[in-house]
Amino acid sequence: MTTEQVVPIGSADDIVIAREAGRDLAGQLGFSLTDLTMIATAISEVSRNMTSYAGKGELRLHVESRNRRSVLVVEAVDQGPGIEQLEHALEDGYSTSGGLGLGLPGARRLMDEFEIRSVNGTGTTVVMRKWAPPRV
Amino acid sequence: MTARSDASVPAPAVHDRSTEALLPQLVQHLRQNRTVLREEWARRITDARLLTAMTPEEIFSEATAVYDNYVEVLETGSVEALQDYARDLSERIIPRGVETEEVLGIVLLLRDVLARSLFEKYQSDFELFKSVLDAYEPAANRIASTVGVGFVQERERVIRQQQEAIRELSTPVLQVRERLLILPMIGVLDGQRARQLTEQLLGAIRTNRAKVVVIDVTGVPGIDSTVANHLVQTVEACRLMGASVIITGLSSEIALTLVTIGVDLSMMTAVGDLQGGIEEAERMLGYEPKPANASPADNL
Amino acid sequence: MPIPILKQGSFLIATIQSAMSDSDAQRLQDELMQHVGRVRATGIIVDVTALNVIDSFAGRTLRTIAHMTRLRGADTVIVGIQPEVAFAMVQLGLTFEDVHTALDLEEGLAYLKRRTVSGDSADDH
């Protein structure tokens, strides 16, 4: 079982690739169909966000183990200009690029854990986690 | 390392009393006395009234397997085979009502039986005996803990499965008419349960090709904002699937919670009680509503 | 991958086959706008049964299609949103309040026929 993957995100077409990669990996961890859809949607949103703000970046997937459960970890890393108003970016409806502004707050609702670090001029890293169901 | 076949002759006064040197001796001793020690152990289990759910033959058979696994752990230092056995044993005995304390009890009894046997063998040389215990005790404790943990984990897994089965059974998405579903929500809901209900409802909309859903919250004493949000999201998700939603049984407390979290109640179709909600749904579907307790004098 | 658009009476039916990239979505929008004008369609069905994700871009595109076709005198119905997709959409915040949705193609056609028969024009509500 592959436990790590990196998908370069350079254009909108890569977003679909990233989603499917996330879906495949999550499928191996026993997530329900609803969870798979939520994960794929969250990946889509953060990848899209990267292409809007930074033009390109990487979508990284790996699996952690905590308390005998598997955790899917999704990281969106770019070296773009950074998000200036982080608090605003996490509010619904706020968008500087003319979109619906749902991306980051939406992704946060879809996943269990969500962190974002952004430094002006250096780049942005979004880390999201979702806990797989206990092995029954 | 020389092997001794006679248990009453003390071990030679070897200078090497390290655990690495002594463990093979222990293993040898336990193998040689396998029959005697297993029988004693089985007898003690019965005396202690453990494993009463099993027959003497079954007890002896499991005792043999545990004993052999025990010796293997001492020999190899690896608990993997023991873990597998513990899981397998647990799977078999849990349905028969064996309790955790019984499982721990028998493992500890074996530890005692073996310790006494070692005492008999090494008692003439107390220093050597202490070294033997230094080698034996950590391994024996690790074994007890492995078996105990394995059993408990298996129990937890079984309990989770049972809870899941109960949840499945107790979720009522009812189809009362063609294209009409009712979801009575009962009791206190937590976020996870609310989410599960939503998933089941959405699946039922597809399966039943429902056009109207009546969600009755009469049986829900109060909801916090998390569950209120779930309710709103459920309504929205149903709409995305082309089903209209009628909420019934909204108490003033719940209505207040919804308003407080910013829900526009005018966006929801709410009807006082379940019966009224069903009738409204039937009207929406083009059926003639059949009032349940109608008498000629009733005004609807 | 071009999305097939069929004509049924005065309705257009676009069936999305599988994962829809941004460019697919954009092309769908452009083609529907062209077709609507050319054949004077009164109703459009966009069937998303095969989509396993509807993200903010897809959502925005579908809403834009619905709004723009309304300006051309046609009603749009999105059909076939799957349970898990509906669930994820509301978590994301995509609620489509101003877009008609129906369970499947059959329901979507029934809706459009009711609208046409009753003589409603597309901008009545």
Q: How far is A24 from chain C (nearest CA, A)?
A: 13
Q: How far is B186 from chain A (nearest CA, A)?
A: 23
- Tens of pLDDT, residues B220-255: 877 777 778 888 889 999 999 999 999 998 888 888
- Inter-chain touch B161–A136, beta carbons under 8 Å: yes
Which domains are assigned to chain A?
4-131 (3.30.565.10)
Per-position DSSP letters for A36-53, written without gaps between them: HHHHHHHHHHHHHHHHHH
- Tens of pLDDT, residues B95-154: 888 888 888 898 899 889 999 999 999 889 999 899 988 888 888 888 888 888 888 888
- Tens of pLDDT, residues B153-194: 888 888 888 877 776 666 678 888 889 999 988 776 777 778
- Inter-chain touch C23–A45, beta carbons under 8 Å: no
Tell me how far apart the alpha carbons of residues B45 and B69 are, in angstroms, rounded to a whole number: 18
Exposed, middle or buried: residue A106 (CB in 10 Å: 0-12, 13-18, 19+)? buried
Nearest CA in chain C to A14: C21
Q: What is the DSSP letter of A99?
A: S
Contacts of B233 by beta carbon, 8 Å cutoff, 6+ apart: B198, C87, C90, C91
Counting as contact any 3 or more CB pairs under 8 A, the partners of A are B, C
- Tens of pLDDT, residues A28-82: 999 999 999 999 999 999 999 888 877 889 999 999 998 788 999 999 998 888 7
Q: What is the pLDDT of residue B190?
A: 73
ipTM here: 0.91
Q: What is the pLDDT of residue B33?
A: 92
Q: What is the pLDDT of residue A72?
A: 97
Residue B18 has pLDDT above 90, yes or no: no
The values of phi and psi at residue B25, to 5°, are -65, -40
Nearest CA in chain B to C47: B241
Give the rounded percent of residues in chain B with a pLDDT score beyond 70: 88
Of B209, B211, B237, the CB nearest to C86: B237
| A34 chain-B contacts, CB cut-off 8 A | 199
Give me chain C's average pLDDT, please. Answer: 89
- Tens of pLDDT, residues A83-104: 766 666 676 655 544 444 558 8
Q: Mean pLDDT throughout A6-23?
A: 94
Of B209, B237, B243, the CB nearest to C87: B237
Nearest CA in chain B to A136: B157
Residue B21 has pLDDT above 70, yes or no: yes
DSSP 3-state of C26 = helix
First to last CA, chain B: 97
Q: What is the pLDDT of residue C123?
A: 45
Residue B293 has pLDDT above 90, yes or no: no
Tell me how far apart the alpha carbons of residues B64 and B40 are, in angstroms, rounded to a whole number: 12
Return the higher-pLDDT residue of B77 and C46: C46
Contacts of B85 by beta carbon, 8 Å cutoff, 6+ apart: B65, B66, B69
Counting as contact any 3 or more CB pairs under 8 A, the partners of B are A, C
| B241 chain-C contacts, CB cut-off 8 A | 81, 83, 86, 101, 103
Beta strands in A2-122 (DSSP E): 4-9, 57-66, 69-78, 113-119
* Selection from C50, C49, C47 nearest residue C62 by Cα: C47
Find the helix or strand (DSSP H, E) in which C84 lies. Answer: helix C83-92
Contacts of B115 by beta carbon, 8 Å cutoff, 6+ apart: B133, B136, B140
Q: Which two tokens stand for residue B80?
A: 């993997």
- Tens of pLDDT, residues B52-76: 888 888 888 888 888 898 888 888 8
Tell me how far apart the alpha carbons of residues B76 and B102 are, in angstroms, rounded to a whole number: 27
Q: What is the pLDDT of residue C79?
A: 97
Contacts of A5 by beta carbon, 8 Å cutoff, 6+ apart: A21, A25, A60, A61, A62
- Inter-chain touch C103–B202, beta carbons under 8 Å: no
| C103 chain-B contacts, CB cut-off 8 A | 205-206, 209-211, 241-243
